[in-house]
C-alpha cells in the first residue's frame, strides 16, 4: 500500500481518529502527530482572533502530496495529512498530520518536516478575523 494514506484539502471538519486509523500498521512502533487548532490570539495584533477563513489554490492537494513525499524520503512511513479550507472558529482543527514509523525519531522528524513545509510551500491562504471587525490576509510562509 502507498505510504501516503491520505493527503487532502477539505472543507469538511477534520477527523483525527480517521487519520490515526488510516496509518495503523502492525510494523509501526511510533505514531507522531500534529494538530493545528485555530487560536484566539495572534502575536501580531492586540485584538482577539474570532476566526479564520482558509482558501486554497486548485493545485494545493498536488503540492501537499509532493510535500509529504519529500518529507518521507526513503523512510518506511505511513502518513495522513489534511488541511482545512473554509470558515473556521476558535478551537476548530485546521491541520492534521499523523505519521507512523518503526521508530519514534523518524516519526517526529517526518511530522515536523511536513508542517514546516506546509507553512513554507502549500498554496493555502488565511484571512484572519479579529474582534474589532478587521481582517488580515496571510499567505504562504505567514
The string of pLDDT tens digits covering residues 105-120 is: 999 999 999 999 999 9
> What is the rounded CA–CA span in Å between residue 64 and residue 57?
11
pLDDT band at 141 (very low <50, low <70, confident <90, very high): low
CA end-to-end span of the chain: 34
- The pTM assigned to this predicted structure is 0.95
pLDDT at position 142: 60
Query: What average pLDDT score do residues 50-78 get?
Result: 97
SS3 120: helix
Q: Domains for the chain: give ranges and CATH numbers.
A: 4-136 (3.90.1170.40)
Question: 522528524: which residue's cell?
Answer: 109
Whether the CA torsion 45, 131, 118, 62 is positive or negative: it is: negative
The string of pLDDT tens digits covering residues 7-32 is: 999 999 999 999 999 999 999 999 99
Amino acid at each position: 500500500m502507498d505510504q501516503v494514506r491520505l493527503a487532502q484539502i477539505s472543507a469538511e471538519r477534520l477527523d483525527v481518529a480517521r487519520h490515526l486509523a488510516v496509518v495503523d500498521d502492525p510494523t509501526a512502533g511510533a505514531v507522531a502527530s500534529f494538530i493545528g487548532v485555530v487560536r484566539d490570539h495572534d502575536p501580531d495584533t492586540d485584538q482577539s482572533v474570532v476566526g479564520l477563513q482558509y482558501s486554497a489554490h486548485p493545485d494545493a492537494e498536488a503540492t501537499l502530496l509532493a510535500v509529504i513525499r519529500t518529507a518521507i524520503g526513503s523512510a518506511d512511513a505511513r502518513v495522513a495529512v489534511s488541511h482545512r479550507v473554509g470558515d473556521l472558529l476558535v478551537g476548530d482543527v485546521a491541520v492534521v498530520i499523523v505519521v507512523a514509523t518503526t521508530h519514534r525519531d523518524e516519526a517526529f522528524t517526518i511530522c515536523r518536516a511536513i508542517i514546516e513545509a506546509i507553512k513554507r510551500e502549500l498554496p493555502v491562504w488565511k484571512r484572519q478575523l479579529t474582534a474589532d471587525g478587521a481582517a488580515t490576509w496571510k499567505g504562504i510562509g505567514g
